Structure 1
Amino acid sequence: MLRFFILLSISGLMNAHADEPFTAGLKARLLRKSLFKENVKLINEPGVRQYYLKNGFTPIWYISDSLSQNALTLLERLRQARQDGLRPREYHISILNQLLSRAPQEIQERINIELLLTDSFMSYTDHLLHGRTRPAIADPEWHIKRPAGPPPEWPLDQLSGSKPVTEILDEAAPQEAAYYRLKTALKRYLEIRDSGGWSWPKEGRFLKFGDRGKNVQKLSKLLHLTGDLIEEPKIVSRGDEECVFDSLVGNGLRNFQLRHGLAPDGTMNAPTSKALGVSVNERIIQIELNMERWRWLSRKLNRPALIVNVPEFNLKVWDEKGSLLAMRVVVGQQLRRTPAFEGSIKTVVINPKWVVPDRIAVEDLLPAIKRDFLVLKRKKIRLYGWKNARLVELSPKAINWQNITPDTFDFQLVQDPGPENVQGRFKFVFPNLFGIYIHDTPAKTLFEQKARTFSSGCIRVENAEALAEYLLKNVEGKNWEQINKNLEKPIPLEISLTSNISVYLFYWTAWVDEDNLLQFRDDIYGRDTLLRSVLAY
């Protein structure tokens, strides 16, 4: 009882300007079983009740009978929640606008506004801190754990400490520059939408160099809106017959293709026309989905780090200054998708053996072995079996392969090091639950494909030697001349790194690159579709 009295005394000092009848009415309301007679439900009702009880029922958003500057700031941020990729409707904005439109407000109406603002503030900061939904619900293939965030009452405690609403909300949002670049891009696309957006006709896919007319004009306007046609903006004001598909338009189209991961040849084709046909509303949602993923992450990523963006088919090495190294990658096929997770590189293996995963052995190699067991010899794969509780090498010829089924397959297949090894000459080990590595590959021609979903989940890199050189540059006693000598011998060599390098496998279908260009990629695994359905966008 004494503790409760002290809390009441402190809260009185905190808000000496509080209206006593208002405070008494607020207390009476919070001690009721139901806070609202109307069909209004607070998302954080237990937290709201607990906070006011702890602080002696002191109003947060009112000074006397007027809304404070913090309240006015919060209302404006809630109305503009779309600029954070969130939805104003989730923060009671409609009913707040209705209540605020009545002037003057009675005490009970002000109490309604007070409680709704507190609930909205808690929800908004929680969504900025953690996202509107959780990955376990919206994306089962997202396995990146983030540290526990502050408790639900954190934003209100910060407010009690005289920190402005704007600072609290800005601190709650992800702190990575990549998030704020996406936020800036979202604002621009919302403005494009509000000014009428763009349209792209199906017959536009037949456009070719030298064509004139309204479809060329539509293409020019679209490319100008998206920032791809920058050389001569006046082109969009020309008449139908003055609009020519010339080198100027071709350059704009090439810029568009580069930003969408398409072959940048500046000519119209089916994939380019399909990308042009995606509406500004759909692109806005695509940006918002990726902002949601940023909110699932730690507030700041580790540096230096290897960052793989699966839909981009790309790996970059990042430090605090930016990108140091970039290369194309091959990722998991549809039935063996590469998940999103994080780890740290601990070991570089030169001339690795490949211990064939059970799934690949049974689903891919067993049917080939049953047709011709000599495939093992051609691929330089050794066969091992269990004898007296240990693995021993077996002769493939001694096995009656026709009697072996996926259920009875009890062997281990190991491919020798060498130029034909599927992991190439380098393997980068970062322990994880998925049996996934980053590694070299002898199948270099696959990097010429635009959509590179060919692996069984591992990340195959185009320039493994450059990546190895970067990772091993600070390893004492391991210069590149010595490593080259090891490469000439088909003998595995494991080199432990002196410091761990973080690895992030991400799934971004929209981001703003280091040149400040908004990039879009296809949703290769359908994970945008699943997230969108959960968020009801």
Structure 2
Amino acid sequence: MGSGASRISRKLYFGPVIDWDVMLFDKIIMKKYTLIIMLISVLFFLGAISTFSFDINGGKIDNAIAEQIRNRIESSAILETIIIGDELVYASMALPVFYERRGYYPGWIDSGMILQQADSLIGIIKLAGAEGLRPNDYHVAKIDSLVSTVRRSFRLSEAKKVIILADLDLLLTDAFLIYGSHLISGKVNPVTIDPEWFTNLCEADLISILDNALTENSISSTLRNLAPPQAGYTLLKKALRRYRALDSQGGWPAVPEGPTLKKGDAGERIPVLRQRLTITGDLAEYSAPDSILFDDSLEAAVKRFQNRHGLDIDGSVGKSTLAALNVPANQRVRQILLNLERWRWLPQDLGKRHILINIANYELDVNEDTVTVLTMRIIVGKTYRRTPVFSDKMTYLVLSPYWNIPANITSQDVIPMMKKNPEYIKEQNIKIFRGYGSERVEIRPESIDWAALSPKKFDFWLRQEPGPKNALGGIKFMFPNKFNVYLHDTPDKNLFSKSSRGFSSGCIRIEKPFDLALYLLRNLPNWSREEMIKAVNAGAERTVPLPEQIPVHVLYWTAWVSPDGGVNFREDIYNRDSVLSAALNEEHPEPLEN
């Protein structure tokens, strides 16, 4: 090896000594040395890259990413938006604040490496469908693509890598803020789609929440804890999973049209009815699937179905029951999705004791923690005088109340009735007044030319006196609100026997006013049922403050799960589902304002 080396040296440096044997040997040696030199060069290059990476990863690359993030945010003040590829950043107000607080340093990148917190976020966003939300609303495809580019490409220049990592960090932050906002207060702001829907949306400092989650490496658990904590929400998520599975398997067959089916009937439609009820668990699977006889077990299954759908429970398949049976599975999935969103509009704390009213179910429940202690039927607003959705606190009740008749009811109901029947006001024990307070003057009905009246010319106000004909009955329950809606008794008790009970002018009539009043005053020693009845019949209005305020939540649920696990569906009596569905299906979520 030494002589070979000397020959090479001689040849390279001392002139052309021609020795063909030596030259052949030298060629072989040269090839070996060329390979060695190339290997050394590669190792040197890798070492340089390693040294450069170490230097960059020691802080320079994070500084470069921070500068890139700062530039993107500052330019957005001019462009009024941040667009990454074809992805629009939605948290246009919260996101800049998050980065300003941390000097624009990345939250999901450290020393040029994508942190595990990013993987946690990607993983939980991919499960957003279980919440009834869409993963694609949170940049998941673009984030996946950028992560893959960074982790799988070894040919990225440092400048390109800085740009990609900055984009990735911005999208991850935006995804957390938007998804967190949707979990805690819903994707859609209800007020923007329905002025009769007013909720106290949950507020949270999502910027601080994100900071803490990154510090504590608790991205997944933090986001899970932002979703509604109530069992009703969790049960409805399980129902969504179940009905999606049913839908993916083809749903259920449509029961053919025909005459009402009832116990004792036989025919070809009955096996289809059996199959339909078996799929949704209303009929046991082992119950004679091919039998053409409408027997006791099938009648019981029909009643279970009717109970879950708010229908008259008579065990026969008439027009209404058949229509409910033939609603497709994908529409039931849609109903569940809409009502998961409505859950997210509610306060996370409904109150240890609270009153929950479901307009679509015509029902009121009084709950203590997770236990329902009192249930009653209710009557809600007509389709053209809809009961609004809101939450407030009940503070007092009024025994033997007057009814100050609202102007719209006076013009739309009372005046037309007076034109038909001049004795109507006297029959209903209604008095007419002009002016208020010390200037109030009572007006005799016969002094008014009712035929010539119109709503614009009517400058009086009406009050119905306490008594058996008073529209508010013997008690009204007050939780002051901007809609002037309250709970009250009614003289028309027969209406509670109807399955559909949209008969009021917006307020809520309740089936058991004395039971509710006694519950609310149960800690006051002087209120027995007898004392309350006596006070109601006294004919003098009496205000009774509640010893403890109680939250009242007036809701509109067309799908929910009862404590026994039954999935309930109700008719969309106010056509609110279609409006919400359109809003939820919009391509992009609403911008986050805080």
TM-score (norm 2): 0.80
Give the CA deviation at 1:217. 4.0
Could you say which residue in structure 2 is the equivalent of 1:413? 462
Could you say which residue in structure 1 is the equivalent of 2:494? 445
Query: Could you tell me the percent identity over the aligned residues?
Result: 34
1:464 is aligned to 2:513: yes
Give the CA deviation at 1:348. 2.2
Cα distance in structure 2, aligned partners of 1:48 and 1:97: 20
Q: CA RMSD in A?
A: 2.8
Give the CA deviation at 1:355. 1.9
Cα distance in structure 2, aligned partners of 1:313 and 1:451: 8
Name the amino acid aligned to 1:178.
Answer: G
1:260-284 deviation line (CA, Å, top 9, x unaligned): 1011222211111211222222112
1:78 is aligned to 2:125: yes
Cα distance in structure 2, aligned partners of 1:423 and 1:289: 34
Q: Which residue of 162, 177, 180 maps to 1:122? A: 177
Which is worse superposed, 282-291 or 44-53?
Answer: 44-53
Q: CA 1:42–1:19 in 2, change beyond 3 Å: closer, same or farther?
A: farther
Q: CA 1:476–1:392 in 2, change beyond 3 Å: closer, same or farther?
A: farther
Give the CA deviation at 1:342. 2.2
1:381-436 deviation line (CA, Å, top 9, x unaligned): 22223499612222212222223221121222222222121111122122222222
Q: Which residue of 151, 162, 175 maps to 2:216? A: 162
Could you say which residue in structure 1 is the equivalent of 2:419? 370
2:281 is paired with a residue whose SS is: coil
Give the CA deviation at 1:201. 4.6
Q: Which residue of 94, 117, 122 maps to 2:141? A: 94
Q: Which residue of 481, 485, 500 maps to 1:436? A: 485
1:347 is paired with a residue whose SS is: strand
1:150 is aligned to 2:204: yes
Give the CA deviation at 1:49. 4.8
1:349 is paired with a residue whose SS is: strand
Q: Which residue of 94, 99, 102 maps to 1:55? A: 102
Could you say which residue in structure 2 is the equivalent of 1:493? 542
CA contact under 8 A between 1:19 and 1:63: conserved in structure 2? no
CA contact under 8 A between 1:126 and 1:152: conserved in structure 2? yes
1:109-151 deviation line (CA, Å, top 9, x unaligned): 555444332221221111112211212212211122235x223
Cα distance in structure 2, aligned partners of 1:18 and 1:276: 63
Name the amino acid aligned to 2:519.
Answer: Y
1:183 is aligned to 2:249: no
CA contact under 8 A between 1:130 and 1:296: conserved in structure 2? yes
1:386-401 maps to which residues of 2 (within 5 A)?
A: 386=435, 390-401=439-450
Could you say which residue in structure 1 is the equivalent of 2:195? 140
Q: Which residue of 233, 236, 248 maps to 2:285? A: 233
Q: CA 1:268–1:410 in 2, change beyond 3 Å: closer, same or farther?
A: same
Q: Which residue of 64, 85, 104 maps to 2:152? A: 104
Give the CA deviation at 1:204. 6.9
1:27 is aligned to 2:66: yes
Q: Which residue of 277, 280, 292 maps to 2:326? A: 277
Cα distance in structure 1, aligned partners of 2:58 and 2:125: 26
CA contact under 8 A between 2:270 and 2:291: conserved in structure 1? no
Cα distance in structure 2, aligned partners of 1:387 and 1:20: 75
1:369 is paired with a residue whose SS is: helix
1:35-60 deviation line (CA, Å, top 9, x unaligned): 76733322235644553454355444
Could you say which residue in structure 2 is the equivalent of 1:12? none
1:335 is paired with a residue whose SS is: coil
1:278-427 maps to which residues of 2 (within 5 A)?
A: 278-386=327-435, 390-427=439-476
Q: CA 1:225–1:419 in 2, change beyond 3 Å: closer, same or farther?
A: same
Cα distance in structure 2, aligned partners of 1:256 and 1:268: 10
Cα distance in structure 2, aligned partners of 1:383 and 1:110: 74
User: Where does the alignment leave 5 or more consecutive residues of structure 2 unmatched?
Assistant: 1-54, 77-81, 587-594
Give the CA deviation at 1:66. 6.1
User: Where does the alignment leave 5 or more consecutive residues of structure 1 unmatched?
Assistant: 1-15
Could you say which residue in structure 1 is the equivalent of 2:51? none
Which is worse superposed, 196-205 or 465-474?
Answer: 196-205
Cα distance in structure 2, aligned partners of 1:414 and 1:60: 64
Q: Which residue of 300, 304, 307 maps to 1:255? A: 304
Q: CA 1:36–1:441 in 2, change beyond 3 Å: closer, same or farther?
A: closer
1:170-227 deviation line (CA, Å, top 9, x unaligned): 22112222222212221222222233322425537765544354x5444333323322
Could you say which residue in structure 1 is the equivalent of 2:227? 173
Cα distance in structure 2, aligned partners of 1:184 and 1:486: 48
Which is worse superposed, 198-207 or 180-189?
Answer: 198-207
Give the CA deviation at 1:62. 4.8
Could you say which residue in structure 2 is the equivalent of 1:8? none
Give the CA deviation at 1:447. 0.7
1:445-480 deviation line (CA, Å, top 9, x unaligned): 111111111111111111112112212222243333
Cα distance in structure 2, aligned partners of 1:85 and 1:381: 51
Q: CA 1:41–1:353 in 2, change beyond 3 Å: closer, same or farther?
A: closer
Could you say which residue in structure 1 is the equivalent of 2:251? 197
Give the CA deviation at 1:363. 1.2
CA contact under 8 A between 1:22 and 1:111: conserved in structure 2? no
Could you say which residue in structure 1 is the equivalent of 2:12? none
Q: CA 1:75–1:223 in 2, change beyond 3 Å: closer, same or farther?
A: farther
Name the amino acid aligned to 1:153.
Answer: I
1:433 is paired with a residue whose SS is: coil
Give the CA deviation at 1:157. 0.9
TM-score (norm 1): 0.88
Name the amino acid aligned to 2:190.
Answer: P
1:76-96 deviation line (CA, Å, top 9, x unaligned): 221221111101110112233
CA contact under 8 A between 2:177 and 2:207: conserved in structure 1? yes
Which is worse superposed, 78-87 or 490-499?
Answer: 490-499
Cα distance in structure 1, aligned partners of 2:573 and 2:321: 17
Cα distance in structure 2, aligned partners of 1:37 and 1:122: 16
Cα distance in structure 2, aligned partners of 1:68 and 1:501: 46
1:496-519 deviation line (CA, Å, top 9, x unaligned): 222222222111111122323221
The higher radius of gyration belongs to: 2
CA contact under 8 A between 1:158 and 1:168: conserved in structure 2? no
Cα distance in structure 1, aligned partners of 2:397 and 2:106: 59
Q: CA 1:77–1:222 in 2, change beyond 3 Å: closer, same or farther?
A: farther
Could you say which residue in structure 2 is the equivalent of 1:41? 88
1:234 is paired with a residue whose SS is: coil
